[in-house]
Amino acid sequence: FSERLVYPWERDSFTKKSPLGKIPFIETEEGGLSESQAILEYLEECFPAIPLYPKARFARAKCRELIQHLELNAEWVARRLYKECFFGGRVSQETKDEARERLVKGLQAVSKLTQFAPFACGPEFTAADCVAFVHFTMIRKATLAIYGEDFVEQLIPEVAAYMIRMDARPHFRTIMADRDVALEIFGRTGVAYEG
């Protein structure tokens, strides 16, 4: 694959590939595909020799379950804080209080589903690790900035050693370095956050 750098303010140029102009999206020979879960499952089907999901049916379902909880009950809640955390805007105290309560519940649910043995869903690297590393990083940054506390490490103590293992993976270092550059550019340009 080849990677192409695009920014949210360029969304009009790629809405045919990603209907809401959201990042990430991929361009395939058949057309554009957006939404992380759809992309992961497409890649799983395209490259079955390098699986992102466990082989056993129930283990695959548990992997998808963990991803859903990470995305819907943790990261999506933390995203309400990003405007203030990363983009210089303000978030109401009511939003902060509601996000705190919902994040605690969401991360407690995630803690019940993660194994860290040594990966999020057990002995094999899966799509859940692709999701967990990025979301844990962003949630940690948001809760530290807004509340002065690392909710992820408080509620999921095993995550510290897990994050060190994941951070040792070269692709993860590249992804996070790219994300840090993008966040810095967004902050410098004053582009409104529409999260």
pLDDT at 186 over 70: no
Please give the Cα distance from 11 to 120 (Å, whole number): 33
Q: In this predicted structure, what is the pLDDT of residue 190?
A: 54
Which residues does 151 contact at the CB level (< 8 Å), separation at least 6? 103, 104, 107, 139, 140, 143
Nearest to 100 by CA among 137, 140, 145, 151: 151
Q: Are 127 and 68 in contact (CB under 8 A)?
A: no
Residue % of the chain over a pLDDT of 90:
66
Categorize the per-residue pLDDT at 187 as very low, low, confident or very high, splitting at 50, 70 and 90.
low
Alpha-carbon distance of 127 to 145, in angstroms, equals: 28
CA distances from 182 to 51, 99, 115, 187 (A): 29, 24, 31, 9
57-68 and 93-113 helices, crossing angle to 10°: 160
Q: Is 184 exposed, middle or buried (0-12, 13-18, 19+ CB in 10 A)?
A: exposed
Residues whose CB falls within 8 Å of the CB of residue 80, separated by 6 or more in sequence, listed in order: 91, 95, 98, 99, 195
Alpha helices in 33-126 (DSSP H): 36-46, 57-68, 76-78, 82-87, 93-113
- Residue 21 near residue 8, CB atoms below 8 Å: yes
128 and 66 in contact (C-beta within 8 Å)?
yes
Of the segments 40-49, 107-116, 170-179, which one has the largest average pLDDT value? 107-116
| pTM summary value | 0.84
Q: Residues 2-31: what's their mean pLDDT?
A: 80
Percent of the chain beyond pLDDT 70? 93
Give how far Cα 20 sits from Cα of 16, 24, 44, 148, 154, Å. Answer: 9, 11, 24, 33, 35
Judge whether 52 and 126 are in contact, CB under 8 Å: yes
Place of tokens 């590249």: 174
